[in-house]
Structure 1
Amino acid sequence: MTLPANAQHALDAFSAAEGWENRARLLMQWGAQALPELPEALRDEAHRVAGCETAVWLNVEVHDERLRLQAASDARLIRGLLAVLIARVNGLDREALKGIDIHAWFDQLGLARQLSPSRTNGMNAVWQRILTASR
């Protein structure tokens, strides 16, 4: 399966980062640089993702059958996780979205084993919201 360009860029960057400290630093950089700013108007309860320990807001739209995602969080590591998740799925159509395994994606990036249960649960909640909203 060919990865979208942004996902391949993420995979290349995280594959080159050795050790959890370097990946965590890179994750925070991705959250600061690769995650577009979510407009304040979308930081409301309707866009807040339930099941996340820290505040996470997610906007899911489908334009021309393609997924368009925006997200935000107050937590730096979570912003990074959102950025690499969005890099993997943004722009996909609904059919391609069905074939995505986010746990495998985080594992490919070398992040899965270092995620706390609460962060994993939060990313699962984000993923479920994406799947539900994209139907």
Structure 2
Amino acid sequence: MASAAFEELVEDFQFLEDWEDRYAYVIELGKAMEPLAEALKVSATKVDGCASQVWLHPKVEGAVFHFDGESDAMIVRGLVAVLRKLYNGLDVGAVLAVDAQAELGRLGLQEHLSAQRSNGVRAMIERIRTVAAGA
């Protein structure tokens, strides 16, 4: 139930043989994201539960979910980019239907993330789901 952009990401990951290549690709995805405006880096957009600083700025336009985000850590910024590919453009009902852990499992990320990073990803997913549920 992921977005088309995420399906493309899954295909890209299938061509990357080892974790180092995938890790570098995730970092590149983060570098390619537009930076979050400084005015949006406030306590209301900060995600608790992440080892690094993470801000998510969700928007629901009509019934379509989008979010922007940023982190001060390169790999986490890349993980924000991955989550954007998973969720952006879905309607809010579809956001709630996404099994994020299963979808991310298709990328093989969980087995290579530290416990702290995994907790941070879960915290970001929970924030996304909370916003979508309230829309």
Band of TM-score, shorter chain: over 0.9
Aligned to 1:61: 59
The 2-side partners of 1:99 and 1:133 are apart by 14
Equivalent residue, structure 1, for 2:125: 127
Deviation at 1:36, TM superposition (A): 2.5
Establish whether residue 81 from structure 1 lines up as the match of residue 74 from structure 2: no
TM superposition shift of 1:48 = 0.5
> 3-state SS of the aligned residue for 2:42?
coil
CA offset at residue 37 of structure 1?
1.7
Residue type at the aligned position of 2:68: Q
Identity of aligned residues (%): 36
Q: Which amino acid aligns with 1:71?
A: G
In the alignment of these two chains, the number of paired residues is 133
Code of the residue aligned with 1:27 in structure 2: it is: V
Cα RMSD of the aligned pairs, angstroms, is 1.2
Residue 48 of structure 1 corresponds to 46
- Which amino acid is 1:56 matched to? V
Aligned 8 A contact 1:15 1:110 in 2: no
SS in 1 for 2:90: coil
Unaligned 5+ runs, structure 2: none
- Distance in 1, matches of 2:29 and 2:13, equals 10
What is the CA-CA distance between 1:5 and the residue it aligns to? 2.6
What is the TM-score when the length of structure 1 is the normalising length?
Answer: 0.93
Q: 1:100 aligns with which of 94, 98, 103?
A: 98
Letter paired with 1:15 = Q
- Is the CA contact (8 Å cut-off) linking 1:7 and 1:87 kept in structure 2? yes
Specify the alignment match of 1:20 in structure 2: 19
Q: Which moved more, 1:97-106 or 1:83-92?
A: 97-106
C-alpha distance in 2 between matches for 1:24 and 1:105: 17
- Mapped to 1, the partners of 2:34 and 2:7 lie a distance apart of 18
- Give TM-score, length-normalised by structure 2: 0.93
Q: In 2, distance between residues paired with 1:17 and 1:125?
A: 27
Deviates more, 1:20-29 or 1:5-14: 5-14
Unaligned runs of 5+ in 1: none
Instruction: Specify the code of the residue in structure 2 equivalent to 1:95.
Output: G
Q: For 1:84 and 1:15, how far apart are their aligned partners in 2?
A: 15
Aligned equivalents of 1:133, 1:95: Cα separation in 2? 11
